[in-house]
Amino acid sequence: MTKPTLALIGTGGTIAGAASTASVSTDYKPASLSLAAVVDTVPELRQRYNIAVTQPMQLASYDVRPEHWLDLHAAVMQAVNNPDVAGIVVTHGTDTLEETATFLHLSVDSDKPIVVVGAMRPATAYSADGPANLLDACCVAACPGARERGTLVVMNGRIHSGLWVGKRHVSSVEAFDSPLAGAVGEVADQAVQWFRAAGRAPTVAWQTPSTWKTPSEWPRVDIALAYAGVDETAMHAFVAAGARGIVHAGLGNANTPTAYRAFIQSLPAQGVLVARCARFITGSVTRASVYADAQHGILTAGPLPPHKVRIVMLLGLAHGMDGHAIQGWIDRILLAG
């Protein structure tokens, strides 16, 4: 039987981390080992698959920036365009794993499985979870049922949509879940079980299918967090720094104190796009609840959290979308579920 070919793309992170002793699992140096070295700790990988390893970067994920996403996107697309490759696995640190997964989910227009995987404990720990997670991720990437699902995240035996997954615990191996959407499947002992039919949100190229425009530079998009007693100081600073978009992570149903509501409403007319979402809680922000959003050109992001709304705005603005087009894209993303 012919072994499927998988492209493994390394970016660093805890899954490649090393600590001073095997009994330490939280005090370590991430991105210490190459992906090739990590693969060698799981001999079954090369027994089951033809493995092609590339390493476009070696970073702790708290140092990953949108500029790095472009290098990763290029590496992923090279694998996508290789007819011999059945699936792609990206190893990544967990601090920003959900952001990178969201970026790939919304920027790579391909039916091939793309699986992002990490670890909560370094490779040197007695209880390292990276080897099992990597084996599971490769199993999912090689599974025909993973096609047409966009970018997936595999952690601790669960399969999540890259769009909806989030890190919910700082150190537990059970750190990742999808609070509203739920997991899309699970994997155990090299067997994959899907909980729902394949489907995915439209990418940034939804208006012009299969068209990806590599940004020459990213537009500045910031997140302004609301809290008791907040004023417009942070937003003024973002505007002064050249922000083209601001995500307002609001209170409750994306609310904000009355005192500076008028300032927020004035920003779109100044060329600064504003999107409303909730700050820490789950649930779908309703349009025009207190803001008269459409009247002022303010976007609403439904249940998307602030850091993922920022990625939608980054991609949309970089591809020349105006506020109306980005809101249409958000609406289609939410409709796809």
Active site residues: 14
Tokens of 192: 């994959």
Tokens of 108: 């790579």
For residue 87, what are the contacts with CB-CB under 8 A and spacing of at least 6?
4, 6, 7, 112, 113, 114, 115, 138, 140, 141, 142, 143, 146
Q: Give the bridge partners for 299, in sequence order.
A: 275
CA 271 to chain centre: 27
Q: Checking DSSP bridges between strand 18-19 and strand 28-29, what pairing results, if any?
A: antiparallel
**Which DSSP state fits 117?**
E
Per the CB < 8 A criterion, the answer to whether 117 and 92 are in contact is yes
- In the chain, how long is the greatest CA-to-CA distance? 68
Instruction: Give one word for 179, left, alpha or beta, with left for phi > 0 and alpha for psi -120 to 50.
Output: alpha
Amino acid at 137: A
The dihedrals phi and psi of 255, each to the nearest 5 degrees, come to -80, 165
Q: Where are the alpha helices (DSSP H) in the chain?
A: 35-40, 44-48, 66-80, 97-107, 130-141, 233-240, 261-266, 293-296, 306-318, 323-336
* Cα dihedral 329/331/333/335 (nearest 10): -150
Q: Where are the alpha helices (DSSP H) in 108-225?
A: 130-141
